[in-house]
Structure 1
C-alpha cells in the first residue's frame, strides 16, 4: 500500500468514526436519520435484552419430596446477586480490566477510537473496552449467539462498526442499570473455562465456596481468567494462571485496593483450586446416578414430547418436581438386580410402576437391573429400558388382556362364561405362510396354526377367568377371531399402548436385521391390522410377539384399576420457572377408555393369577396375601417374558428380555442366575419366573404398612 493510500484510509476512518460517535451521542432526526433510526431500534432492542433477559440457568430435577436428583444445563451457572459478591472479587476485576469503571458512563472514548483505528489499519489488535462493553460482548457470545459460531465471530470482529455499536449499547445500558448491577451481570455471564459461567459457579467448582467468601488470591485468579479463560485455565496451564493472578494482585495495589505487603504474601500462596479439575455436577441425566437415571431420562423425554424444547429445558433454570417415590424406585432397583445381575450380558430386567387414579396416573418408579450410565463395561446404559419400546420381542400372553377386553365390550363372552381352549387350533380367519400340518386356505396362504404350551395342560374348555390365570393360547386366538382384529388393536391403544402401537413393527429392524421384510417398516397398528400384511390381520398379536413399552403396559394395568380411565403416565409433579412461578405443562387429557363396569369386571377376571395361575409360586414365595390382578406372558423361544400386576394403590410391569441381540432364549437358573442363550436356541424363561419374582419382590416392600384394599365388584353385564 502506498503511504498516500494509507493516509487517505486513516482520514476516512477518522471521519467515519466521528460520524458514528456523533450518531451515538446525538441521534440525527429527519429524513437523513431514517436508516439511523432503524439501527437505533436494533440497538435499543438489544440493550433491553441485556438489561432484562437473564442468561441460561441450570434446570434442577427433584423427586416427589423435593430432593434434587439431577441437573440439566448447557452452561453451568449459579445466579449471584450484587450483594452476594464480595468486594475482593469486584475490585480484583475492576483493577485489572477497567480502573475507571466507576467514573465513565460506559465507554472510554479515547481508548475505543484509538483501538478501532489501530485494528482497522492493520496495526496491533487493541481492546480498550470498558467492563460495560465487555459485558455486551460476552452477553452476545455466551447468551444470544451461544452455539452459533458465525454470530460469535461477528460479536468479536475487529471493526469500527462493531466497536461503535457495542459502545452505543453500553451507553444505553448505563442509563438502565447502575454500576453494581452491571458489574454483577458481567460476573454472572462471563465464562471461567470448561463451560463454567459466572462467578457463583466458578467459586463453587474451583474452590468449593461461594462468591461472598472468596479470598483475595482466589478472586485475583478468577478476575485474571476473564481475559482468556482457556489460556489461563489453572489445571491446564498452572504457571500462566499463577503469573496472571499475581499481575491482578499488582494491579489491585496500583489501584490502592490492596496493600503491597499483602500482595507479596498472597503471591506465595498456591492456586488452591480443586485438585482433580472443576467440581461440577453432570450436565444431564447421568448425574441422577445409576438408580435414578432412568426416571430422569423419562422426565426429559416426556417434557420434550409435550411441548418443551431441549434448549429451553437445558437453559430455562426450571425446578421440576417429579412423581418419583424414592423408596419405591429403590425397592424396584433392588428387586430387578436381585433377579438379574447388572453385568449379565444381553439380559435386561425392568420394573415400571404407576399409581392408578381417575385424574392422574403418576409414574412412581422406573428401574432396571442395569445401572444408568455411560460405562458399558460395567453393564451401564443410557437407553430408556423401562420407559421406551425397548423389549423388541414382546410381552407374550400379557397381551391377552386386550383380546379379553375387546370380547367383553362386544359381549362375545363374559368373565365367568366358558370359552373353547382346544390343545391345537387352525384359524381360517387369520392366515400365515406354509407350515407343516397346517391346512391351506387359499392360493399361497395357510391357516394360522397354534397350540397350547404342553400336551395335557388344558382341557377343551374353561371359564374366561380360568383362562386368564392359566393362559391357553388357542382360547384367546378364538376370542380374537370373534372380536375382530381391528377391535383388539383399538382396545390395546385405548387402554394405554399409544406409543407402542405407533412404533415400527420391527422396532427399527431389530427383529429383521437384514431388512428383508418390508412389512416390518409399518407401524404395529398397520402391521397387525386388517388390510396389513394379511387381509384379516395377524392372529399372533394376542400372543404378544411385538415390540413393547413396559411403562405403557404398566399404565394399562393402572387404567384397569382406575375404573377404565386412561391418563398419560406422567412423571411431572410440578414445574416452576427460574423465578419460582408455576409453569403449566401440556399433557394429554384423561379419557374414559372403557366403561367402568367393564374395567372392574376385567380386574375380577384377572384376580386369580397369583392364587391359581402362572404367578402362584412367585406370590407364595413372599407370602403375598393382597387382592390383586395379574397376567404373565412369555414369547417364542422364551426370548422375553413379562408380568403385569396391580393392587388398587399401585400398578406395574416387570419384563426380562434380550436388549442387545434379540434372537434367542433366556435361561432362568434362579434369582441372579439368568443368562441369554447363544444364537437362536430356546430358553426356559416364563413370566411366572423372573418377571413375577421381580414384581412381587419389590411390591412386598413398597406396600408394607399400606392398607389392604379389595378389588371393585364385577358388573353383571360382563359376567356371562
Structure 2
C-alpha cells in the first residue's frame, strides 16, 4: 500500500469515527435525524431482545423424590452471579480481552483508533471490541440468534453499521449494569466449545470444580479459550492450549495482576484438565441410564405431545421436571423383565408398565424393559420407547376380550355371572372373512365366508357351568366372538377400547405408526379404529376381540387402572410438577380425567376379571410361583403364531401390563422354555400370556406390593351388571 493511500484512508477512518461518535451521542435533525431515529429503534429492539430473551439453561428431570435422573439441553450452561467470579478469573479475562475494562464506558475509543491505524496501514488486523461489546455480540449469537444462521452471520459481519449498533448497545448497557454484572453476564454467555457455555459449566467440565475455586492457571486457560475455543481445545490441541494459557499469564503480568515469578511457575504446570474429554452430563435421556431412560423418554414425549411444549422450550428452558418415577418400583420391573428375557436376546422384547389407579390422576411409576435404554445395540440397548410407544405390532391377543366384555355389560346383553357357551368352534353369522382356517361356510357373496374361530384348549370340563367371569379367566376364543355377534358389530368393543384407555393405540395405523391419509395401502391410511370398525355395510373385523392389532403396553396397563378407578380414565401421566428457571410453577396441559364407563360397570368388570390368578385361570401358575395372595384383576393374551403375548392386571393400588413380543426381525414365533430362556424359534412358538408376561408382572408386583402396600379388597359388583347370582 502506498503511504499516501494509507494516509488518506487513515484520515477517512478518523472522520468516520468522529461521525459515528456524533451519531451515537448527538442525533441531528432532518434526514440525518430520521436515520438516527431508525438506528435508535434498531438499537432499542436489540436491547429489548437482550433483556427479554433469556439464555438457554439445562432442564433437569427428577424422580418422584426430587432426585435428578437426567439433564436435557442444547447448551450446557450453569449460571453464576457476580459474586461467583473470583479474582483469578476476573483479571485473567480482563487482562487478555479488555485491559481498560474498568476505565471505559462500553466502548474503548483508544483501542478503536489504535486498531484503525493498524488495520489501515496494512499491519496485522486488530480487534477493538470491549468485553461489553463482546457480551452484546455473544448474546446475539448464542442466545437471540442461536437457531438462526442468518441472524448469527449478521451479528458477526465486519461492517460499520454492525459495529455502530453494537457500540451503542454497549454504551446503554454500561448505564444500566455495573461492571461486575457485565463481567458475570459475559461469563455466563460465552462459549467454551463442545456445547459448554458459561464459566459455571466450563469450570465443572474442564476442571471438575466451581467458578469460585478456579486457580490462576485454570482461569488463564479458560480466559484464553474464549478467543477461539475450537483451536485452543486442550484435549485436541494441548500445545496450542498451553501456549494460549501462557500468553494470558503474561498479559496478567503486564497488567500488574500477577507477579512474573508466579507466572513462570504456573507456566511449568500441566494443563490439569479432566482426562480424555470434558466432564459434562449427557444432553438427553441417555443420562437417565439403562433403567430410567425409558421413563425419561416418556416424560419428554409426554410434554411434547400432550404438555404443549416444544422441544426447543424443553431443552433450553431450565425447567425442573419432577416426574412420577418410583425408582424402586422401576428397578423391580426392570429386574423382572430381564429375568424372563435376556437383554441381549435377539428379536425379543419384554416390557412392563405400572400405573397408579385414581379418580384424579393416573401416575405412571415404572416403565421397564429387558433391553437397556441406550445406543449400543450389541449390548442389548435401544432408544425405542418400548414400554410406552405403539411398538408391539404383534398384538395383545385375548386381553382385548376385556373390551368386548365391557361392551356387553354396557349394552345389558349379559352380566359377569350370566351363562355363556364354550363351543370347540364357532361360526359367526355377523362377521365375514375370506376362506381360511375353519371358515368354510359361504355367505352367498362371492369369495366370502362367515368368520369362524376355534379354541387353543379343551374347555369341555368347564363348559357346563361357564359364566362370563369363567370365560375371562379361561379365555376361550369362541365365547367372545359369539358375544361380538350379540353386539352386532365391532363398534361397541372398539369404542370401549378407546374409552378405557387405548387412545393413542386406536388412533395409530395397523403398523403402529401415524395415520397417513395419502398412503396407498389401506392399513396405513386408516386408524386402527377405522380399520377394524364398521364401515358401510360391513360390521367390522370380528378378529378384533382376539387382539391382533399393534398397541402400547402403557396404555394397556392404564386400562387396568381405569377399571380399578371406578371407570375414571385419566391420561397416564409421568409428571408430578414442573417449575421454571426461577422456581415458579409451570402448568402442564394434560387431558382431563373423565368418567369413561359407569362406576358400577367398572367395579363389576373388575370382579369379572378377578379369577385369572385362581385355579383354572390362565395366570394361576405364574401367580402360585411367587406366592401371590392378594385380590387382583387379570387377563392374559396370546396372538396367532405366538409372535406376542401379554398380561394385564392390577390391585386397587397399582395396575400394569407386561408384554413379550418380537422386535426387530426374526422368523417364526416365540418359544418360552422358562425364565431366561425365551427366544424366537422357527415354526410356531409356544409362548402364552400366562408364561413370560405373567411371570414378569407377578415377579415385580409381588416385591413392590409386599414392601409398601396393605392388602385391599376389590370393589363390590353392581347387581345391574352381574346378570344373576353365581352358578
Q: Flag whether TM exceeds 0.5 (same fold).
A: yes
Matched, 1:467 2:468: no
- Show CA shifts across 1:451-474 (max 9, x none): 111355563772000000000111
Report if the CA contact (8 A) 1:141-1:155 is conserved.
yes
Label 1:84 to 1:537 Cα distance change in 2 as closer, same or farther (>3 A).
same
CA distance in 2, matches of 1:116, 1:711: 85
Between 315-324 and 53-62, the greater mean CA deviation after superposition: 53-62
Dislocated runs of 4+, deviation >6 Å = 1-12, 116-123
CA distance in 2, matches of 1:414, 1:27: 87
Matched, 1:337 2:338: yes
Cα drift, residue 439 of structure 1: 1.2
SS of aligned partner of 2:69: strand
Cα drift, residue 6 of structure 1: 8.6
- Listed as ranges, the gaps of 5+ residues in structure 2 are none
Matched, 1:686 2:691: no
TM-score, structure 1 as length reference: 0.95
Report if the CA contact (8 A) 1:407-1:479 is conserved.
yes
Report if the CA contact (8 A) 1:119-1:125 is conserved.
yes
Correspondence for 1:500:
505
Correspondence for 1:239:
239
- Show CA shifts across 1:216-240 (max 9, x none): 0000010011110001111111111
Between 682-691 and 187-196, the greater mean CA deviation after superposition: 187-196
CA distance in 1, matches of 2:11, 2:435: 91
Report if the CA contact (8 A) 2:501-2:562 is conserved.
yes
Match of 1:622 among 618, 622, 626: 626
- Show CA shifts across 1:132-180 (max 9, x none): 0111111111111213322222211111111111111111111111100
Cα drift, residue 36 of structure 1: 2.8
- Listed as ranges, the gaps of 5+ residues in structure 1 are none
Taking the TM superposition and a 5 Å limit, the aligned residue runs for 1:62-101 are 62-101=62-101
Correspondence for 1:38:
38
Match of 1:582 among 547, 572, 585: 585
CA distance in 2, matches of 1:29, 1:664: 85
Label 1:509 to 1:427 Cα distance change in 2 as closer, same or farther (>3 A).
farther
CA distance in 2, matches of 1:446, 1:123: 92
CA distance in 2, matches of 1:279, 1:651: 40
CA distance in 1, matches of 2:32, 2:359: 67
Report if the CA contact (8 A) 1:14-1:117 is conserved.
no
Match of 2:605 among 602, 610, 626: 602
SS of aligned partner of 2:203: helix
Label 1:419 to 1:34 Cα distance change in 2 as closer, same or farther (>3 A).
farther
- Show CA shifts across 1:245-294 (max 9, x none): 11111111111111111111111111000011101100000000000000
SS of aligned partner of 2:191: coil
Between 45-54 and 559-568, the greater mean CA deviation after superposition: 45-54
Matched, 1:644 2:645: no
Correspondence for 2:127:
127
Correspondence for 2:188:
188
Correspondence for 1:47:
47
Correspondence for 1:660:
664
CA distance in 2, matches of 1:96, 1:541: 73
SS of aligned partner of 1:672: coil
Q: Could you say what the CA RMSD is over the residues aligned between the two structures, in angstroms?
A: 2.2
Label 1:321 to 1:558 Cα distance change in 2 as closer, same or farther (>3 A).
same
CA distance in 1, matches of 2:634, 2:560: 9
Label 1:503 to 1:635 Cα distance change in 2 as closer, same or farther (>3 A).
same
Correspondence for 1:259:
259
TM-score, structure 2 as length reference: 0.94
CA distance in 2, matches of 1:601, 1:326: 33
Report if the CA contact (8 A) 1:422-1:461 is conserved.
no
Report if the CA contact (8 A) 2:393-2:512 is conserved.
yes
Cα drift, residue 110 of structure 1: 4.0
Query: Number of aligned pairs?
Result: 713
Taking the TM superposition and a 5 Å limit, the aligned residue runs for 1:67-466 are 67-112=67-112, 115=115, 124-305=124-305, 306-435=307-436, 438-441=440-443, 442-456=445-459, 459=463, 462-466=466-470
SS of aligned partner of 1:575: strand
